[in-house]
Structure 1
Amino acid sequence: MKNIIIASTSTLHGGDYLEYLLPELKNHFKECKTVLFIPYSRPSGITHEEYTAKVSQAFAKIDIDVKGIHEYIDAGIAIKNAEGIFTGGGNTFLLVYQLYKNELITTLAETVKNGTPYLGTSAGSNICGLSMQNTNDMPIIYPPSFQTLGLIPFNINAHYLDPDTQSKHMGETRETRIKEFHAFNTIPVLGLREGSWLEVKGEKTFLRGTLTARLFKQNQTAIELESGSDLSGLK
């Protein structure tokens, strides 16, 4: 049975890394002594070791150890044997590139679908959908495919921002970009605002957190979803 948290972000303004999610994570990973961390999304400024150390500090607050996937000789076996898995934020193009390069896409998807608890934030959430095509990241590297884990039957736009009516910026809004996606694609897109996340238990998916989310479907008006909304039938 799938057991997944798909969060828009790792850090809220004024809070520490993962702080707002720790009560949820304590329950989510309650059977885990150690969580496997996938740090593939960071292109610069922080090494895999440094990123893993940052995650370790957060998980130490709920008495869970963290091991980086880069510490293992065989990453595929590390995923299959993991008690729990966390994929952090960064650049989604790089993350997907690395997962394909290391031949981990299928292994990761199957392991999570079989019930291993999974947490994704930002880029780690973007890969939970059918494709990564609704990421906000720059295409700094080209993955062999945009197809991702398919843990949910729609796509995620993490860090979703509403148009600022007071701004003089004339560039495209997130809503405009998602509508452009829907000019060529039928996959629904959920805009996850900061502080919101999805809880996936088996075939049930619910919106959680302090904020609403915005749901986009091809040729339909976008709608607001309140925390607690059931997205189980969305496809």
Structure 2
Amino acid sequence: MKNMIIASTSTIHGTAYLSYLLPTLLEDFDKNNIQQLLFIPYARPGGISHQEYTERVRTAFQKTPITVKGIHEFENPQEALESAEAIFTGGGNTFVLVKMLHDLDLMSLLRKKIYAGTSYIGTSAGSNICGLNMRNTNDMPIVMPSSFKTTGAIGYNINAHYLDPDPNSTHMGETREQRIKEFHCYNDLAVVGLREGSYIRVQGKEEILCGTASARIFTKGNDAIEVSPGYDFAPLYKIH
């Protein structure tokens, strides 16, 4: 049974890193007797080192019973992933993250772990890799992965940090909605725009929107629809 938290962001503006997700995470870890969290820091937000990123996560969990280990701290990352009790993939650049996971032959193993029921937490780029591919990321292609294919742990793609158009803005570039419409000129896959403060709680066959914000669902040839917390995304599997 899949057990996932797929979050738009790690941090809500004005709050501490992971603080809005921590109560849910700790409840899940206690329920499943989890004591160690494996962190995947490969997305490297702002180009920080793997160790710096891991220390940020350790700080978030320092007052809890959970021990955090970065996957880069193990001699064999495949063995580390295989034996992980719980996995957290942080945000940053999705191209960098996906390249590393493919280069180290970890993507398929990560999918296997998720489908086996290992607790998985993703934020931003770590949520983008839960879909069938990474083609709805907002990130710059600063490196080229061997494949855009991701874990396929859910049957649709995620657009993390989804932003609505600002009617007062003078910016002339495309909106997120326009970019997703471009995607649907060539792809049939449904896309979920996750706003800040929202996350998808996957437990078995349920994929429930949680948090403080609504989400936006895009499907090819249809108008986008707004959905409120409590909505189950599982039926989207049938729309592509």
TM-score (norm 2): 0.96
Q: Deviations over 1:51-107 (max 9, x none)?
A: 101101112233211000001111111111001000000000000000000000110
C-alpha displacement at 1:28, in angstroms?
2.3
Contact 1:207/1:231 (8 A) holds in 2: yes
**Cα RMSD (Å):** 0.9
Task: Pick the aligned partner of 2:61 from 59, 62, 78.
Answer: 59
Identity fraction in percent: 57
Partner of 2:166: 164
Q: Which residue of 1 aligns with 2:132?
A: 130
| Conserved? CA contact 1:189–1:216, under 8 Å | yes
> How far apart, in 2, do the equivalents of 1:228 and 1:140 lie?
36
State the distance in 2 between where 1:60 and 1:70 align: 20
Q: Which runs of 4+ in 1 moved over 4 A?
A: none
Kindly tell me the number of residue pairs found equivalent between the two proteins: 235
1:49 aligns with: 51
Greater CA drift, 24-33 or 76-85: 24-33
SS at match of 2:98: helix
What is the CA distance between 1:43 and its match in structure 2?
6.3
Show the counterpart of 2:12: 12
Residues 22 and 62 in structure 1, CA contact (< 8 A), matched pair in contact too: no
The residue that corresponds to 2:225 in the other structure is: 223
TM alignment of 1:171-186, pairs within 5 A: 171-186=173-188
Correspondence 1:29 to 2:48: no
TM-score normalised by length of structure 1: 0.98
**Equivalent pair of 1:43/1:94 in contact (CA under 8 Å):** no
Which of 99, 102, 113 is the equivalent residue of 2:101?
Answer: 99
Deviations 1:98-151 (A, max 9, x none): 000000011011011100000000000000000000000000000011110000
Q: Which runs of 5+ in 2 are unaligned?
A: none
Could you tell me how far 1:41 is from its partner in structure 2? Answer: 0.5
Distance 2:45 2:234 in 1: 34
Q: Which amino acid aligns with 2:24?
A: E
Q: Secondary structure at 2:226's aligned position in 1?
A: strand
